[in-house]
Amino acid sequence: MLSLLSVSAWAWANEGGDGQTLQQVTVSGKRKAVQTLPLGSGRKASDVVIDGEKFHARSATLGNALAGESGVHSNPFGGGASAPVIRGQEGVRVKMLQNGSDMVDMSAISPDHAVAADTLLAKQVELVRGTPTLLYAAASPVGVVNVADGRIPEKQPENGIEGEMLVRADSASKERAATAGITLGVGDHLALRLEGLSRKSDLYKVPGVKLEETVYRLPDSNNKSHVGTVGLSYVGEKGYLGAAYSYRNDDYGVVDHNHMYDPCSAHIFDPENRKSYQNRDYLLMYPHLMDDSDLKRELHFHCGTPHEENQPHSHDNIYGHHHDHSSPGPQIALFSRRLDLRGEWRQPFAWLDKIKISAARADYRHDELNDGKFYTDPYYPEDKQRRSADTAAQAKVAPTPCLPTKG
């Protein structure tokens, strides 16, 4: 509850000085409780609580959805991943929570990894700054972003049933998204929650990107997401106790991201064939000290293959080689299974306001695929072993006997 001060003042009705006393005015209002402030106090002017209905017309990824809020920007990677940037900082410096528990995903490691939460299913998103962030992490000084949804019912639905549904589409990415949720009262104390999401988008439409040719759809910006949740709670007069199970599957492309040429090295200079390098061997260790006169005239790449098999370097395109934009680039396949337990017991004793519990367990898997297959590189030993094992498993060759046999 927010209570404002009472106002009592004198107002002069005319220049004659006749005074008139105004009646006392009391203004009161409500504001949403912040889940990330378990003590119920300490909310500051810089803390932001965004109602879930506002996200119905925003991006489905968290970073893009929060972009535009005070001090918040986004680090987007296509239609499947975007992370919030708060006051110029991101990654581990911004703690991501889901219903007050840790968001178990890889979004803090790299911004091209999706945040495992959907704003389209959120009841509210909280952005808390300052000292309360120490309740959740010591390495996240910028703030805490909490995505709160209704997967665990905290009260019985009115008239025994509540529900909502959203269907939307756009022309820029040909997005088709639908969400639905329903809460059912089972008896006097049980509440069942079911919700789901399905979203699919194609490549972003852009004015024109000059790669090797001009393209009008941003390569690898596609996305496909499916989410399902079931939750059950026991609701009493002084609180609730509930659990929820959620399933998530995302397949999305990563814009401007390719590992194919990671093991390649640029052939910039050749110290063995130039006398000027006799006293400049340090350039091998410190190539940034070279100047233009040290560069080779014929720049090219070495990718672990014989010299004559390497493609010539070209400054006409950003890749330095021919790149086929018709085939898909790296795709991320994300699988997540999450179990949440949450409860609240209000005023168990006269001297204790409430007891709150929260726990979560997540099984997260993240695969990077290339053309629908696990990416392997022939020049990395660990990838070579993995590829050999996969080949052997598919060969179905009879095992060779250890000892010779007769007949």
Cβ contacts of 239 within 8 Å, gap of 6 or more:
343, 344, 345, 346, 354
Q: Enter the tokens of residue 186.
A: 């089972």
> Shortest CA distance to 158 belongs to which of 180, 181, 191?
191
Tens digit of each residue's pLDDT (9 = 90 or more) over 281-298: 677 677 667 666 666 666
Q: Write the Ramachandran bin of 287: left for phi over 0, alpha for psi from -120 to 50, otherwise beta.
A: alpha
- For residue 51 the two structure tokens come to 């109602």
Contact by Cβ (8 Å): 107, 96: yes
120 has pLDDT over 70: yes
**Would the pLDDT of 10 be above 50?**
no
* Tokens matching residue 115: 């945040």
Kindly report, residue by residue over 236-265, the tens digit of the pLDDT: 999 999 999 999 999 998 876 655 555 556
pLDDT of residue 3: 43
Report the share of the chain in percent with pLDDT over 70. Answer: 65
**Per-residue pLDDT at 407 exceeds 50:** no
**Contact in structure between 342 and 152 (CB atoms under 8 Å):** yes
Does residue 281 contact residue 274 with C-beta atoms inside 8 Å?
Answer: no
Name the pTM for this structure. Answer: 0.68
List the structure tokens of 342. Answer: 């949450």
One-letter amino acid at 218 equals L
Q: In whole angstroms, what is the distance from residue 275 CA to residue 280 CA?
A: 10
**Residue 240: predicted pLDDT:** 95
Averaged pLDDT, 89-102: 86
Domain positions in the chain: 48-259+326-382, 265-302
Q: Within 13 A of 320's CA, how many CA atoms are on the CB side?
A: 16
Predicted confidence (pLDDT) per residue in 128-161, tens digit: 887 777 888 777 778 889 999 999 999 999 888 9
What CA–CA distance (Å, rounded) separates 288 from 295? 11
Q: What is the pLDDT confidence band of residue 182, given thresholds at 50, 70 and 90?
A: very high
Domain 48-259+326-382 belongs to what topology? Answer: Ferric Hydroxamate Uptake Protein; Chain A, domain 1 (2.170.130)
Segment 108-133 shows an average pLDDT of: 85
